[in-house]
Amino acid sequence: MKNIKFMDFCAGIGGGRIGLENLGMSCLGYSEIDKDAEITYKHFFGGDEKNFGDLMKINPDDLPNFDFMVGGFPCQTFSIIGNRCGLRDKDRGQIIYGLVNLLKAKDVKYFILENVKGLVNHDKGNTFKTVLKLLDNAGYKVSHEILNSLNFGVPQMRERIYLVGVQKRLIDDDFKFEFPKKYNGNHKKLEECLIDDEELTFDEKLSSYKTFLKYLDNKYNKNKYDIDNLLSLDYTVIDTRQSDLRIYHKKTPTLRRGRHGILYVKNGKFRKLSGYEALLLQNFPKRYANNVKGKVSNSKLLQQSGNAMTSTVIEELGYNLMKAVGNV
């Protein structure tokens, strides 16, 4: 696959890029408008490739020719926790039109696109039908499936819809893409990810800890939880939501841009999930995570990890696609 060139659109901090590079593909450039994410991206990959910026303003003639598009186009407008405006969102929801225009203009052979699973049912399924029709009319055979990152080498529950496309002219009528069911590489255990050695303990010294105690005593949680019991088992993961508290073992809930309330137990003490650990939960290699430690704030890394694609899912999808078209 070393002869496959790709572009990374709505790149975030490059989770999709890592997945395709693991297959030997080469990145020619990327498109990202979030300046903070761009800083992290450059720490990870260096500053050699050009950021082409807002894809809605890109002149296709300014892009190099490439074979493969990967992109996690903005999901907030389709998410259950977002505003669910969908394609009516003039800035984010219509990014799909910009991606389709670039696919056609550059005669791109293959793509992998990712979004929240809420896209499938948004507007009673009409939004998703519109997206699929756009891609079909652009000349692509599209397959789609909801996959959970938990089955792809990381201890994080993360369901996302993936769209995999190949130009119709490259395949026979009986072509069928098979979605992977699991990751064929090493599966990380939770304790391999929760290794930040910074002082992120969560105890009575903090005012937020007192708020946590009040939270445990609210009408939803009163008499349900005991501090000593919560602290009795290392690597218990605690998600503090608006009303109810949720407990996980051997896995974490979905990382999200706005979710910073994840705690876990280690050595009998509460700790806050750090941005460094969030990167590992998305399967960013340690060498990349080490590159940003102390250079990008903890809160920024938590946000960016919540927006990122899980690299192992993209890697498996890319491999299966290349295998299906006879390029392995």
Residue numbers annotated as active site: 75
Amino acid letter at 265? V
- Can you tell me the distance from the alpha carbon of 292 to that of 238, in angstroms, rounded to the nearest whole number? 26
> Is residue 306 a contact partner of residue 261, using CB atoms and an 8 Å limit?
no
80: Cβ contacts below 8 Å, ≥ 6 apart: 116, 118
Number of Cβ atoms within 10 Å of the Cβ of 4: 18
Which strand (E) or helix (H) includes residue 36? helix 35-45
Among 129, 122, 162, CA closest to 145: 162
Angle, in degrees to the nearest 10, between helices 126-137 and 95-105: 10
Which strand (E) or helix (H) includes residue 208? helix 207-216
> Is residue 136 a contact partner of residue 120, using CB atoms and an 8 Å limit?
no
Q: What tokens were used for 18?
A: 């890592």
Q: What is the 3-state secondary structure (H, E, C) of 130-147?
A: HHHHHHHHCCEEEEEEEE
